[in-house]
Chain A
C-alpha cells in the first residue's frame, strides 16, 4: 500500500479581514481573516504551486498518475489536470485525471492514491466563493495541497503510512450548486447536522476498529467539512483526548473546500514527530476517515514553507478588490485593447516553455536562453541547444517598471527584467508584490499563474514574485 512520501501546501498571499466585509455591507462582523487567491490564480495554478512544493522534497519521484480535485475547476469538458501535469513537467506517460465538483472529491482523490499500486500525485485545490454577505464568502478560504503517495524507497522514504481507512455514504441534501451558479445553496443548518453526526461517528468507529486502535491513541485529529457545526459536533463525540483536535485554520485561512482536510493533514504532518497517529475525518456528503502513522523519516525533513508559516504570512486585500477578483464586482476596464486569447497551436508547440518554463542552454558556449532559442544569442551556434527547466531557479531584478496603462484585472502591472542564477534573462510580470517596494537587485522566484482569460481561454504562464517561500 502507498504511503505519503512527499507533500506540499500552498496558500495565496492575500487575506481578507472579515471585519471589512461587515463594515462594507453594514452587517455584523466576524473575527479573523480568510485567504484570497489573487486575480491571477485559479485552482489549477494553486495546485501547481502545492505540487511543486511536494515534488521539490522528492525530486527523484516519477508519479505514474496525477489526480486533481476541486469544486471550482477552471475548465469543464477539458481536463484541468493536464495543465498541472505540463507545469510540473511530468512524463508524458503519467496519466492525469480530474475529480471535480464536490468537496468530497478531495477525500476521493487521496483515497484513490492510497489504494493505487504505483506512485500517485494528488493535488487538491479550491477557491471558495459565496454571495456577498453570506457565510460561504466569510468562512471559505482559498488554497491547495499536494501529496505524493508511493511505496517506501531510499530516495523517497515513507513519511506517513496509511494504517486504516473507512467511508460511509448516504444521499442527502445539505449543500449544492447548479453548474454555472456563482454560489452554493444550503438546507437548514440543523438538518445537515442531524444527517452528518451519525455518519461521522460510524466512520470513525469503523476506522479505529480496522486500525485496532482506541480513540485515545490518536495524537492529532483532523475533523473538517463544509458543515462547520456538524464537524464540531463530530469532533466532540469521538472520544478524542483533550487538545488533540487540531486547529481548523478557520481564523486565518478559512475552509478551503476540497483541499481542506488535506491542508489540515499537511499542517499536522508539519508539526508531527515520528511515530504519531493522525486521523483525518472528512465530512462531505458522507464521511471519509483515514488514519496515518508517521515514520522516522519525518524527523530530518526541512520544512521551509509550512502551512503555519504561510498562514501567518500574507497581506490584506480590500473587500472591493476581493469581490472584483472573484467576478462579483464588474469594474470599468481601461481604454485599451482586450488581451488576445492564446492560440491553441502555438501553445501546443510551446508546451514545455509555456507550462514547464523550460528554456535552453547552448551546448557550444553554455549561454542560457529564456525562452528557448535555436540560435545562440552569444555565439550564434545554430541548433546546438539542450532544454533546461528554470521554474525552480531564483533570479535577480535587473530593471523594472510599473505599467499603469496595460490591461489587468488588478492594475497596475508590475514587470521586471530578471536575471537567473547561473545565467539567462527574462522579462515578465511580477506578482504578489508591492509596486512601491520593488528595487533593482531584489531576488525573485517563478510562480505559475493564470495571466488572464480572453475569448474563453485561460492564459497560464509564469510570473516572478519576491523570493519568500524558501
Chain B
C-alpha cells in the first residue's frame, strides 16, 4: 500500500470528551461547546488560537456552520465530514494532515452525534433515493452475519460462540463500570448478557452497542511545538484509512470471517509506526466493538490473535484490562454507545488518558512497565463492505 505516513510530525496536546449517554438535556450545540471547551482548556489555548477545524458528524448537522455557529468561530476554515461510523477518526486524520502540511499551526478535530432525538431504536437510515433493491437489514443484522460464518469456518459450536460473544460484552461492561463518562457504568452478569432478548441472529441486546449522544475533541499541533503546550503530548505514529471495494456482498470468495479493510489499514498503520508485533508492543487498543462478533473478528484482523484463535484468547482473558493486551479499557462502544461522529475521538481520548497515566482505576499496568503505544480502530459499513481506520499514537517521539 502506497502510504508514507506522518510519523512523529504532529502531536495531540489537548483533548476533551463529554459524558456519553441519553443526554436529553443537551443538544448538538451543547455537546460541541462542552467538548471544545474541555479540549481547549486541556491544551491551555483559547478558541482564537485554533487556526482550522474539522468536524465529524453523520446526521447531526451539515457544513462547517454546525460548529462555527455554536462556537462563534470568526471566519476560519471549518470542514464538516462524514465517513460512516469512522467519521470521528476521519476528522482527526484530516486535521493531522493539515498541521503536518504546514498549512496551520493549531487544528481542532471534533466529533459529535445526537442520536437520541430521533425517537427510534437503533440508527436512522441514511439512503439517497433508490430503486428499492438494497436489503434493508439493520446494523446488528449485517454484523451478525459474521457469527455463523466464523463458527462454521473454525468449528466453534453455537454455544461456545455465544459464550465468547458474552465474554466480550461482559469484559467491556466491566471496564465501562470504571469510567465516569460511559453511558453504562455497571458490570453486567454473564447470565444477563447471554439471556438478553435476541436482536439479530445470535446477537442479544447486550451484544449490541447502545445508542447515545456525545462529543469529543482533540487539539493538534506540529510535534516540535508540542512541548509548548504540555509536558505529556501524544505523538501521532500512524494514520491509515481505507475504503474497500464493497466486494463482500457480491464476491463468493469473501467468507464473512474477516474485514479485509481492517487488515489493510492495520498493515499500513503498523508499517507507518514500525510495529512488528502489535500484541507485544501496544499498551492498549480501542477497537470498534459495535457488536460482539465484530470485536472477535477484529482481534484477528488487527493481528492480536492468529486466524481462528481469537475465540480462545477471548475466553482466556487475553484482552481483559489486566490481560496481555487490554482491548477497550474505557468500556468501548459497548459501554459508551456509538454517537457516530464522536466515537473515533472518544477512543483516542482513552489513549490520551492511558498513555499519560490519567486513567485512574482503569490504568493499564503495562504502561508503567514501559509500553508507550496505543491503537485506535474505527470502522463503518458492514462486513464485506466497509471503511476502516487505524491510528497508532505514542507518548514518546522517536529520536
Pick the interface stretch among A13-21, A129-137, A402-410.
A402-410
C-alpha gap A403/B124 in the complex (Å):
16
Closest partner residue, chain A, to B249 (CB atom): A427
C-alpha gap A433/B373 in the complex (Å):
50
In the complex with contacts A335-B120, A405-B121, A451-B132, A417-B144 CB distance below 8 A: no
Within 8 A of B (CB), among A159-211: none
Nearest CB of A to B19, in Å = 24
CB pair A401–B130 under 8 Å, yes or no, is: no
CB pair A405–B250 under 8 Å, yes or no, is: no
Indicate whether A383 reaches chain B with its CB closer than 8 angstroms: no
Nearest CB of A to B204, in Å = 10
Within 8 A of B (CB), among A189-245: none
CB pair A337–B152 under 8 Å, yes or no, is: no
A-side contacts of B131, CB under 8 Å: 342-343, 346-347, 349-350, 353-354
CB pair B120–A354 under 8 Å, yes or no, is: no
Pick the interface stretch among B73-81, B134-142, B265-273.
B134-142
CB pair A424–B256 under 8 Å, yes or no, is: no
Q: In terms of DSSP, what is the predominant structure of the interface of chain B?
A: loop
Indicate whether A328 reaches chain B with its CB closer than 8 angstroms: no
Nearest CB of B to A436, in Å = 11
C-alpha gap A402/B204 in the complex (Å):
12
Nearest CB of B to A40, in Å = 12
In the complex with contacts A399-B149, A400-B148, A425-B133 CB distance below 8 A: no
CB pair B152–A440 under 8 Å, yes or no, is: yes
CB pair B152–A401 under 8 Å, yes or no, is: no
A-side contacts of B199, CB under 8 Å: 404-405
A-side contacts of B198, CB under 8 Å: 402, 404
Pick the interface stretch among A1-9, A102-110, A261-269, A371-379.
A371-379
B-side contacts of A407, CB under 8 Å: 136
Indicate whether B303 reaches chain A with its CB closer than 8 angstroms: no
C-alpha gap A403/B138 in the complex (Å):
7
C-alpha gap A406/B122 in the complex (Å):
10
C-alpha gap A109/B397 in the complex (Å):
82
Contact string against B for A residues 310-337, beta-carbon threshold 8 Å, 1 for contact and 0 otherwise: 0000000000000000000000001111
Contact among A342, A345, A370 for B132, CB-based, below 8 A: A342
Within 8 A of A (CB), among B176-199: 198-199
Within 8 A of A (CB), among B134-189: 135-138, 140-142, 144-146, 148-149, 152
B-side contacts of A440, CB under 8 Å: 148-149, 152
Nearest CB of B to A421, in Å = 11
C-alpha gap A347/B131 in the complex (Å):
4
C-alpha gap A370/B135 in the complex (Å):
13
C-alpha gap A456/B254 in the complex (Å):
37
Indicate whether A461 reaches chain B with its CB closer than 8 angstroms: yes
CB pair B250–A406 under 8 Å, yes or no, is: no
Indicate whether B125 reaches chain A with its CB closer than 8 angstroms: yes
C-alpha gap A378/B252 in the complex (Å):
11
B-side contacts of A297, CB under 8 Å: none
Contact string against B for A residues 395-438, beta-carbon threshold 8 Å, 1 for contact and 0 otherwise: 00011111111110000010101010001111111000000000
A-side contacts of B256, CB under 8 Å: 398-399, 417
Indicate whether A117 reaches chain B with its CB closer than 8 angstroms: no
Closest partner residue, chain A, to B151 (CB atom): A440
CB pair A401–B145 under 8 Å, yes or no, is: yes
Closest partner residue, chain B, to A454 (CB atom): B132
CB pair B133–A354 under 8 Å, yes or no, is: yes
C-alpha gap A403/B141 in the complex (Å):
5
Nearest CB of B to A338, in Å = 9
CB pair A370–B121 under 8 Å, yes or no, is: no
C-alpha gap A175/B103 in the complex (Å):
80
Indicate whether B255 reaches chain A with its CB closer than 8 angstroms: yes
Contact among A336, A345, A429 for B135, CB-based, below 8 A: A429
A-side contacts of B152, CB under 8 Å: 399, 440
Nearest CB of B to A365, in Å = 12
A-side contacts of B102, CB under 8 Å: none
CB pair A377–B129 under 8 Å, yes or no, is: no
In the complex with contacts A403-B200, A417-B256, A429-B135, A373-B250 CB distance below 8 A: yes
| Known contacts A345-B129, A347-B132, A371-B250; 4 further A-B pairs (Cβ under 8 A) | A343-B131, A403-B201, A405-B141, A429-B135
List 7 interface pairs A-B (beta carbons < 8 Å), by A numbering: A373-B250, A400-B148, A402-B141, A402-B200, A403-B137, A403-B138, A417-B256
Binding site for A on B (CB under 8 A): 119-122, 124-125, 127, 129-133, 135-138, 140-142, 144-146, 148-149, 152, 198-201, 245, 247, 249-252, 254-256
A-B CB proximity, top 5 nearest: A342-B132, A343-B129, A403-B141, A459-B132, A401-B201
